[in-house]
């Protein structure tokens, strides 16, 4: 997809690896000024270097989305550096597997602090900036697990259902104020998180891949392209939506 983001400022959380990294690189290639954020500075700086080596502009801001002060500082640094915020891809997330009877409070809080509170606090600080400048676009990373139940991943599933609800409600709150809020809902994407999710078991990985009617897992760039579409003017009449990018998983 040939979409230009010249003179646009894009913030990507969870951008040090996987979907976030590949999407940040795609925004950079499309001409955006990209703010890379995550908890791992070395990896984040490597993404910045890759964007710059391709002729783009980027900066890294270390932040943990579970900590509101970090997110507030991240958004402030974005505006201080580039003067505005046009697109926010709230992508940071964490996985959790295991039956519900084995879940402890620490597991629950870590998952919801990152997957849910991280999205809430990101939007809380992104939206005022967008309102001042007359609009903007927010895309939240949900999951196919935000639409159906998946045995053995109850807390993760619950967190992604929450992202779906947050996306819809926030879209309605700001629909008349020039801010579009959507979600992208991937199924299995071949990233580091997928490796952790399957515990390094090739048997488990192949089983997860087989759940998709297309017969394989997705590639990170197959999420990046839909995110760039949702962020672009081509999607100007789309808000409150969740775009399933799942190889047919939810059609079954």
Catalytic annotation, residues: 156
Q: Residue 181 has which token pair?
A: 């809020």
Those residues with Cβ within 8 angstroms of residue 201's Cβ, 6 or more apart along the chain or in another chain: none
Q: How far, in Å, are 37, 92, 152, 162, 174 from residue 59 at the CA level? A: 9, 17, 38, 30, 28
**Cα distance between residue 16 and residue 211, in whole Å:** 28
- Any idea how long the chain is? 252
The DSSP-derived string for 50-86 is: HHHHTT-EEEEEE--TTSHHHHHHHHHHHHHHHS---
Q: Which residues contact 13 (CB under 8 A, 6 or more apart)?
A: 20, 37, 38, 63, 65, 74, 88, 89, 90, 91, 92, 118, 122
């Amino acid at each position: 997809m040939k979409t230009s983001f010249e003179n646009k400022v894009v913030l990507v959380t969870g951008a040090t690896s996987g979907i976030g990294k590949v999407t940040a690189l795609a925004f950079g290639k499309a001409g955006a000024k990209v703010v890379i954020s995550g908890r791992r500075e070395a990896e984040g700086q490597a993404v910045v270097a890759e964007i710059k080596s391709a002729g783009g502009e980027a900066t890294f801001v270390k932040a943990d989305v579970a900590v509101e002060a970090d997110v507030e500082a991240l958004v402030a640094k974005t505006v201080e550096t580039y003067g505005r915020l046009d697109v926010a891809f709230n992508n940071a997330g964490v996985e959790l597997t295991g039956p519900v009877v084995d879940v402890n409070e620490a597991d629950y809080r870590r998952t919801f602090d990152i997957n849910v509170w991280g999205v809430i606090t990101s939007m809380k600080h992104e939206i005022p900036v967008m309102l001042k400048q007359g609009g903007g676009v927010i895309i939240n990373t949900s999951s196919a697990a935000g639409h159906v139940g998946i045995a053995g991943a109850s807390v993760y599933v619950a967190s992604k259902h929450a992202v779906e609800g947050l996306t819809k409600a926030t879209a309605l709150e700001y629909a008349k104020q020039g801010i579009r809020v959507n979600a992208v809902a991937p199924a299995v994407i071949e990233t580091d998180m997928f490796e952790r999710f399957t515990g390094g078991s090739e048997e488990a990985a192949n089983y997860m891949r087989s759940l998709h009617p297309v017969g394989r897992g997705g590639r990170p760039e197959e999420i990046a392209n839909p995110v760039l579409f949702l962020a672009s003017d081509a999607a100007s009449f789309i808000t409150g939506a969740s775009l399933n990018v799942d190889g047919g998983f939810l059609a079954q």
